[in-house]
């Protein structure tokens, strides 16, 4: 009976204790009780979703407690952000720039009579330019009158034959006598290798002083190709149009460079014109007439003359082969007239490919009214034969350069 009585009363005492604890919690922590009531008063998510309204700009997925308010993107927000270039250009040209490499060919053209006199007064329409047989449109045209000269006097000075050396010095002095105070001249000699005697100067006394050093030759070798290559290569760093006055026999003994390499160098050279003066012509004629010139030596000199002509023609100059000393002043007067009175024109070639190919150029004179070759007359209305001097061509720029 005692045990049964205890089992019945035990649960009654536990319920009273539990009620007392709950009452204490409600009294001590009213916020918990309030939250509990709020949670219990809310409807289920399905029912509450129909009652709760999201803001108009809301969007995105639905959550357990309603829509998640993610603002919709406005039209201006959908534009991709502007990308700033990794390398910024100067402010004056903006963030982006486009470089277009348009080929431009500059030509110096001389028109002279058969006796070397310059023909002035020609107009743009009198010139016709063909590149690989295709007519070109001339963009700019002008005639330079009495302009200063920037030139290198390249003189062969070797211990081979006194007659050649004597002619070389006389030709150099004749050229110096035709200079003006505005001209810039450098003097270089060569035998086995080139020797710079004086750098560019406007002082005639320095030019004469440099030539006066050529008294005792050292070597008998005449490495023309090496010397000409070195001179033209140095001139590429000089602004404006340059000239090389080559005074030489034209014979090359054993240059490191061969003939083909010097030709390629001249083909790729811009703004440099070569005028060649051959030396020793009188001695050669005397030796041939007296039987002192063998067949091999004769062929060597003929090849030398051909090389001098080629150097000049490739660059738009002329080659002279004076037989007597008295011809030298007149030859240099012709050279000075060619340089100081020159027509300059430019054009954008129709073949704009940058493939490094050789482009053949031919310049002729035409009558703009008829399109026929231009006829030139002297003051007595007699036809005058003339010659148009310009570069034979040029080497197009290579795309990888």
The pLDDT score that the predictor gives to residue 162 is: 73
The domain locations on the chain are 105-395
Answer yes or no: are the C-beta atoms of 344 and 110 closer than 8 Å.
no
Residue 260 has pLDDT above 50, yes or no: yes
The pLDDT score that the predictor gives to residue 91 is: 54
Distance CA 380, CA 40 (A): 127
pLDDT tens across 308-350, in order? 999 999 999 999 999 888 888 888 888 888 888 889 999 999 9
Which residues face 366 on adjacent strands?
A: 373
State the pLDDT confidence band at 99, using cuts at 50, 70 and 90. Answer: very low
Distance CA 386, CA 391 (A): 17
Residue 10 has pLDDT above 90, yes or no: no
Q: Which residue has the tokens 């028109």?
A: 111
pLDDT tens across 199-231, in order? 999 999 999 999 988 887 778 889 999 999 999
The pLDDT score that the predictor gives to residue 341 is: 83
Question: Any idea which of 121-135, 160-174, 352-366 has the lowest mean pLDDT?
Answer: 160-174
pLDDT tens across 113-155, in order? 888 788 888 999 999 999 999 999 999 998 877 778 899 999 9
- Supply the CATH classification number for the domain 105-395: 3.40.50.410
Distance CA 211, CA 169 (A): 7
Name the CA dihedral angle for 325, 326, 332, 338, rounded to a multiple of 10 degrees. -130
pLDDT tens across 177-193, in order? 888 889 999 999 999 99
Q: What is the mean pLDDT of residues 232-248?
A: 91
State the pLDDT confidence band at 163, using cuts at 50, 70 and 90. Answer: confident
Q: What is the mean pLDDT of residues 361-386?
A: 91
Task: Please report, for the chain, how many H helices and E strands are present, in that order.
Answer: 10, 16
């Amino acid at each position: 009976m005692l045990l049964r009585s205890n089992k019945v009363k035990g649960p009654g005492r536990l319920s009273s204790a539990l009620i007392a604890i709950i009452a204490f919690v409600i009294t001590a922590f009213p916020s918990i009780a309030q939250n509990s009531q709020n949670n219990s008063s809310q409807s289920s998510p399905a029912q509450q979703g129909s009652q709760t309204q999201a803001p108009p700009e809301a969007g995105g997925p639905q959550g357990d407690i309603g829509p998640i308010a993610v603002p919709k993107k406005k039209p201006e927000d959908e534009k991709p952000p502007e990308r700033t270039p990794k390398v910024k250009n100067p402010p004056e040209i903006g963030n982006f720039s486009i470089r277009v490499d348009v080929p431009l060919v500059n030509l110096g053209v001389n028109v002279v009579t058969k006796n070397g006199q310059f023909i002035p007064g020609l107009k743009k329409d009198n010139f016709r330019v063909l590149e690989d047989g295709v007519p070109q449109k001339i963009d700019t045209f002008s005639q330079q009158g009495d302009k200063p000269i920037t030139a290198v006097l390249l003189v062969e000075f070797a211990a081979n034959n006194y007659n050649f050396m004597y002619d070389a010095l006389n030709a150099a002095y004749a050229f110096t006598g035709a200079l003006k105070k505005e001209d810039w001249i450098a003097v270089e000699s060569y035998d086995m290798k080139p020797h710079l005697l004086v750098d560019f100067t406007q002082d005639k006394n320095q030019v004469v002083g440099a030539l006066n050093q050529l008294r005792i030759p050292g070597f008998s070798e005449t490495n023309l190709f090496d010397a000409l290559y070195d001179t033209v290569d140095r001139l590429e760093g000089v602004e404006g149009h340059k000239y090389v006055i080559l005074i030489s026999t034209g014979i090359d003994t054993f240059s490191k460079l061969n003939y083909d390499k010097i030709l390629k160098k001249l083909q790729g050279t811009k703004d440099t014109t070569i005028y060649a003066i051959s030396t020793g012509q009188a001695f050669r004629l005397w030796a041939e007439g007296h039987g002192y010139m063998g067949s091999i030596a004769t062929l060597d000199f003929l090849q030398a003359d051909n090389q001098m002509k080629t150097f000049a023609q490739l660059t738009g100059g002329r080659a002279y082969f004076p037989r007597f000393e008295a011809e030298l002043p007149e030859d240099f007067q012709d050279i000075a007239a060619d340089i100081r009175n020159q027509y300059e024109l430019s054009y954008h070639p129709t073949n704009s490919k940058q493939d490094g190919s050789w482009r053949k150029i031919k310049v002729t004179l035409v009558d703009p009214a008829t399109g026929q070759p231009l006829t030139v007359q002297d003051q007595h209305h007699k036809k005058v034969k003339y010659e148009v001097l310009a570069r034979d061509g040029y080497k197009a720029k290579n795309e990888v350069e």
